[in-house]
Amino acid sequence: MKKADIGKLETLMERLRATDGCPWDREQTLGSLVPFIIEEAYEVVSAIDAKDTVEIKEELGDLLFQIIFCSRITEEAGAFGLADVIDTSYEKMVRRHPHVFGDSKADTPGEVLKRWAEIKKEEKKEKKTEEGYLAGIPEVLPALLRAHKVSQKAAKAGFDWKSVNEVMDKLTEETDEFRKAVEEKDAAGMEEELGDMLFTMVNVGRFLEVNPEDALRKTIGKFITRFHHIENSLRAKGRDLSSTPIEEMERLWQEAKRKDTNA
């Protein structure tokens, strides 16, 4: 495996940001790059889900380029450069792996995560950050992922159910309250109870060690694949969705579902 030459990307970025470089690249700021960073991160995840190594390689490159881009902007501002980013990451990873680089012992992934959380908590004490046990969870995270992180931190503080059965009972309670709000046509209540129901489902996933963001993303992908099967089947017969009875679409859906099961 050849050694990485990250320097050529730095040189490329410097050229793009030069006065005679690219007008679009020159006008970008950290703030303007945020949507691209998020998009590239999700495209990496999509490529991983598809198990497409060629696509994974390309999307990782696009995400890396965003890091190079941000580092160049901050370097121009006299704050820090890519070398500082790499050094900071290296030092943090060494510090958070004392069972590898120090005298601590961790024989299981669970022990590693517990020690990681302890070290991270100590690091936060040294910084002037927002106080509170649930502080520090980025608000820009997708809602399901943020809910998962919030519930994880609350659980580590001891605020948690004792078993998944207790969480399932809570889900039944929230579902009944949501149903009541629907029956009463209470718009504000429906929104609130739907949120409570979703948050409780996130906790069910946490107890079962199922990441809700991953689960929902995969379900969306599955839905799209099956819906495409319905469209393609109808198109092959010279028909479209608008003129197809729901019963036939359901039949084609079940057909696609069987294909998934047998794949």
Q: Using CB atoms within 10 A of its CB, is residue 100 exposed (0-12), middle (13-18) or buried (19+)? A: exposed
The sign of the dihedral angle between the CA atoms of 199, 205, 211, 215 is: negative
Residue 120, pLDDT score: 83
Any domain includes 2: no
Which SS3 state, helix, strand or coil, does residue 46 take? helix
Rounded Cα distance between 103 and 120, Å, is 18
Any domain includes 99: no
4-13, 24-33, 69-78, 105-114: lowest mean pLDDT where? 105-114
Tally the domains of the chain: 3
Any domain includes 117: no
How much is the average pLDDT of 223-246?
Answer: 94
More confident: 185 or 126:
185
Structure tokens at 249: 């679409």
Query: If you search the block for the tokens 């990681």, which residue do you land on?
Result: 116
The sign of the dihedral angle between the CA atoms of 15, 16, 21, 27 is: negative
Let me know whether 27 and 73 are in one domain: yes
Any domain includes 87: no
Answer left, alpha or beta for residue 238, where phi above 0 means left and psi between -120 and 50 means alpha: left
Q: Residue 129 to residues 80, 89, 135, 170, 195: CA-CA distances in angstroms?
A: 20, 19, 8, 34, 28
Q: Is the pLDDT of residue 124 over 80?
A: no
Q: Is the pLDDT of residue 43 over 70?
A: yes
Q: How confident is the model at residue 128 (pLDDT cuts 50, 70, 90)?
A: low
Q: Is the pLDDT of residue 126 over 80?
A: no
CATH number at 155 reads: 1.10.287.1080
- DSSP secondary structure letter of residue 131: -
Average pLDDT over the chain, rounded to an integer: 92
How much is the average pLDDT of 196-213?
Answer: 95
Rounded Cα distance between 109 and 238, Å, is 55
Let me know whether 204 and 148 are in one domain: yes
Q: Is the pLDDT of residue 216 over 70?
A: yes
Q: Is the pLDDT of residue 261 over 90?
A: no
Any domain includes 227: yes
Task: Residue 72: give the domain boundaries.
Answer: 7-82
Residue 263, pLDDT score: 59
